[in-house]
Amino acid sequence: MLFHVTKARALKSILRTGLRVCTPNDMNDERGVYLFKDRSGVEDALMNWLGDRFDEDESLALVFVDESYVKAVSSNAATYEVICLHDLPPQAVLGYEILE
């Protein structure tokens, strides 16, 4: 299982259409669906750089992703992440958790 962090208000769309390849809004990162390999990577990122990318009062969700749907990945990913180069269908979403 892999993990994706997003704004909670995006959940309805994600559950309906899946996760879409995009370029992170505030950076010149590679286009992709950014996924974490484990929860400790999520926690570290949220305490550091990723937490700074969301408003303080923004409700966040952790989306659980079935890694068997991830076929094409970038070789530019950091050790704690997977950058999926294609859209993931709604069936790839195993569930989610609202982060407090």
Domain with 27, as residue range(s), is 2-99
CB atoms within 10 A of CB 32: 22
Q: What is the pLDDT of residue 9?
A: 95
Radius of gyration of the chain (CA): 12
Burial (CB < 10 A; 0-12, 13-18, 19+), residue 31, is exposed
Each residue's pLDDT expressed in tens, for the chain with a length of 100 residues: 999 999 999 999 999 999 999 876 666 678 899 999 999 999 998 888 787 788 888 899 999 999 999 999 999 888 999 999 999 999 999 999 999 7
Domain at 63, CATH number: 3.20.170.30
Token pair belonging to 29: 């990162």
Instruction: Domain count for the chain, please give it.
Output: 1
Token pair belonging to 73: 């990945």
pTM across the whole model: 0.91
